[in-house]
Amino acid sequence: MDYKIHEIGKNFYLLRSDEPDFHRNIYLKIFKNGNKSVNMIMDPGSRIDLEPLTKALEKLIGGIDKIDIIFLSHQDPDVSSSTPFLLSASPRAVVITSQDTIRLVKMYGIPSPKLKAIEDFKTETVVIKETGHRIRFIPAYFCHFRGAMMLYDLESRVLFTGDFMGGLNTIDGNPVYATEEAWDGIFLFHSIYMPSNLALRETIDRIGLLNPFPEVIAPQHGYVVKSELIVEFLNRLSELNVGMDLLASKEPAKDQFILAVNDFKDRIKRDYPNIFKKLFERFKSPGSFTSPFIIKGDELFDIKIPPSDAVRFLLSVLEDETNEMEFTKLKTFLMLSFEKFNIPHLIPMLHLEWSEDRLIDINEIFKE
């Protein structure tokens, strides 16, 4: 398995995993000045990234042992659990991150001398002595972790944002750069994982103060954002209710659920007409008491059971009638409809519902 390498700024490289629905972005910046260079990797991923990451670093810098700096935006295992292995392979490397992140990643057994807290620097902007390049550390408090940090490379004007501005994969073909279609995935990711609109606005304000303003935003998940979409997406996020803001909503009424499912239906009717036909043939079987949906024409008219139970039924039908990639895409559409009609409480069910034949038997992996 190899990760494709994309140069998104001057000596600033993206290595991305290949999951179709929610991939990881690993970034490498090579600071060069004459025959001197310093190599910094940002959020180096998990243990499953080690093999393709090693191959990519061999091509870019001559080997994994050439890493000088590991920057961690926060401590989640999908961004940081490869760190101990990278340090073992590159003894000269050091980890730079926030004090809050250090408290947790040190549990990997990383020696204290290898950990440098950003708060220990006298200013947010620091100079790399070997090459003279400047980088800036920008807090992204509570987005989505208390000690989350971003990193701005002033040479390339690429801002690495960690989970902020990250998103699910919502563009066919999974291109590197965001288009308008990327917003759906950003919207869903932030709605679910960010704690509050206040946290978003505080981070957006800090980005807005950067001078010069970033030309590229590079998140840890989803698509790289550039050009006019940077300001457009930041403006939308500044008005988005997320996390605790959504908990104030009451239990969804049945009519909200019906509106959301009909909105979902309209989208699959447009984008997946063959799946739409199969689904609604099952939903509107005449006189069927086994279906919880009451259909009139092509519209959901009523439900016989609570919305939460109706979601389970809908997911079971989707699983029966789609392949895994289609199932993932349709769940994303359903999430969007639930958010649109202000019923985010049903979204967690979309992450938990899996049929038994999709689960792995632990006995197939381990022998006692």
pLDDT, residue 220, reads 96
Q: DSSP states of 172-203 as a string? A: TT--SB--TTHHHHHHHHHHHH---HHHHHHH
Least confident window among 57-61, 282-286, 327-331: 282-286
Q: CB under 8 Å to 116, separation ≥6 — which residues?
A: 94, 95, 96, 97
Of 180, 184, 186, whose CA–CA distance to 220 is shortest? 186
Cα 257–chain centre separation: 27
In the chain, what are the helix, strand and coil shares in percent, each to the nearest 5? 45, 20, 35
Of the chain, the percentage scoring pLDDT greater than 70 comes to 90
Pairing of the two strands 115-117 and 94-97: parallel
- Asked if residue 310 lies in contact with residue 292, where contact means CB atoms within 8 angstroms, the answer is yes
Over residues 312-319, mean pLDDT = 82
The secondary structure of residue 157, as a DSSP letter, is T
pLDDT, residue 235, reads 97
Of 23, 1, 28, whose CA–CA distance to 12 is shortest? 28
- Asked if residue 96 lies in contact with residue 43, where contact means CB atoms within 8 angstroms, the answer is no
Neighbours of 289 (CB within 10 A): 7
Q: How many helices and strands, by DSSP H and E, does the chain display?
A: 13, 15
Q: How far apart are CA 277 and CA 204, in angstroms?
A: 43
- Asked if residue 234 lies in contact with residue 207, where contact means CB atoms within 8 angstroms, the answer is yes
Q: What rounded mean pLDDT belongs to the chain?
A: 87
85-120 pLDDT, tens per residue? 999 999 899 999 999 999 999 999 999 999 999 999
Give the CATH class of 5-247. alpha beta
Give the start-to-end residue ranges of the domains of the chain.
Answer: 5-247, 254-357
Q: How far apart are CA 298 and CA 280, in angstroms?
A: 8
- How many residues comprise the chain? 368
Angle, to 10 degrees, between the axis of helix 307-321 and the axis of helix 254-271?
Answer: 20
112-147 pLDDT, tens per residue? 999 999 999 989 999 999 999 999 999 999 999 999
Question: Which of 16-30, 173-187, 202-216 has the highest average model confidence (pLDDT)?
Answer: 202-216
pLDDT at 329 over 70: yes
